[in-house]
Structure 1
Amino acid sequence: MIPTNCQNWLALGACVYADMSVSKALRMLGLVNFTKGVKQNHRKPIDVDKAIELRELGCTYQKIGEIMNVSFTTIRERLIEVGYNEVKK
């Protein structure tokens, strides 16, 4: 086992000398769970069609998030990603 204080240096060396991304270098060292500050892609799957339907019925992002068991930010971001544009009334 590589000492913890050396693992960071190994990851840095991999990034600099191998032109490797931070997340890939940390994965190679088995440090995926210890990557503070590195955004990981742990997105919960949601039914975007259902979210749009609920939004069209007048539900808030907060309410949709509660129904789908995700944060309102997740709902808002996913709807933006799929190009959902609502008309302000």
Structure 2
Amino acid sequence: MINDNLRVHFVVGMCISISEDILPKALLGLRLPYRKKHSIPLDSGINIGNTEVMSKNTNFDKEYIKKPDVLINKLDINYFITVGYTFKI
């Protein structure tokens, strides 16, 4: 707790990416909720997990008999920031 209105929390969570394949991801970050009863939390952190990206070996000039797999999974790190609202009874 920094003062009566501002606190600091460490945030850990899991999420999934919904695409052709379901890919799990991990979330790590900080939460700064402001106030007590009517709280406005600010979350920020990193998102670590597999992401589907286009293969560098993809050739769009070539004609294929079967549909080629052009997407590959790559471990990627992204950043997130959110603002919310919570009410405590």
The TM-score with structure 1 as length reference comes to: 0.21
Question: Counting helix residues as a fraction of each chain, which structure ranks higher?
Answer: 1
Higher strand share: 2
